[in-house]
Chains A and B, each alone.
Chain A
Amino acid sequence: METKKKMSPQERERILNIVRKSAERYRETNRILDAILPDIIDDNSSKNTIL
């Protein structure tokens, strides 16, 4: 049976840095979605639970 590769600390840090930078890049996308999708966030928002 194949065993799962363990991520090295360097690889983990590399991925984390990509994710952190990516989160910054998503700031504008999220802000625009906040603005153009108000109908969705107001619609039954209290009934839904994610995760």
Chain B
Amino acid sequence: MQYYDYDLVNDEVTSYFFKTSHNIFYVIEFKPTGYIFGDEYVWSQNCFEFSIKLSEKSPQNSPPDSLISPTISEIFQHFCQDKEKVILYMCDTSDRRHLARFRKFDRWFKQINIRKTFIKIDRTFFDEKYNITYYNSLIIKDNNFYQDEIIEAFDELISGIEEEK
């Protein structure tokens, strides 16, 4: 599969950079987010929030470009070569199109997971204060040693938020 070359900066936040043929610069970031589960879990240091950004000087709208999606997939696979990585993803709810986004992300994930090496756990919860349903996904490798404990902790986190209603 063809994709753009990319650079990697491995700091507190792991950042991947690539430039498209239209001179648009993308940044793919994996930001540590283990604090959401707490220090009690040894694997929490391997939890990361996955995000995609455009660099400040890039045009905000990209022409159709079939290489962007496979490049992001390649970067995702590269970052997750370490089987202990735990990736968290959430759909933006600000414009109420989050269900469509969730479906889209699900289909994109199925494309990158063609070898079935990842497991994606989807959970939702309702925020009464803002009248919003949040769509959350947790992605782990199917050979993650802590797989059961991670899924249980994710379930406990979501159910803990829900139970006070």
Contacts and interface: CB of A to CB of B under 8 A. Distances in A.
Contacts of B97: 34
A6 to B, nearest CB: 7
Contact of A24 (B94, B101, B129): B94
Contact of B93 (A5, A16, A23, A41): A23
Contacts of A4: 156
Nearest to A43: B107
Interface residues of B, number: 51
Contacts of B54: 28, 32
Contact of A12 (B89, B100, B108, B160): B160
A41 B103 contact: yes
A22 B129 CA distance: 16
Consensus secondary structure, chain A interface: helix
Given A7-B164, A24-B94, A26-B92, A36 B65 contact: yes
B93 A48 contact: no
Given A29-B52, A29-B92, A30-B91, A15 B161 contact: yes
A16 B105 CA distance: 22
Interface of A: 4-7, 9, 11-12, 15-16, 18-20, 22-38, 40-41, 43, 45, 48, 50-51
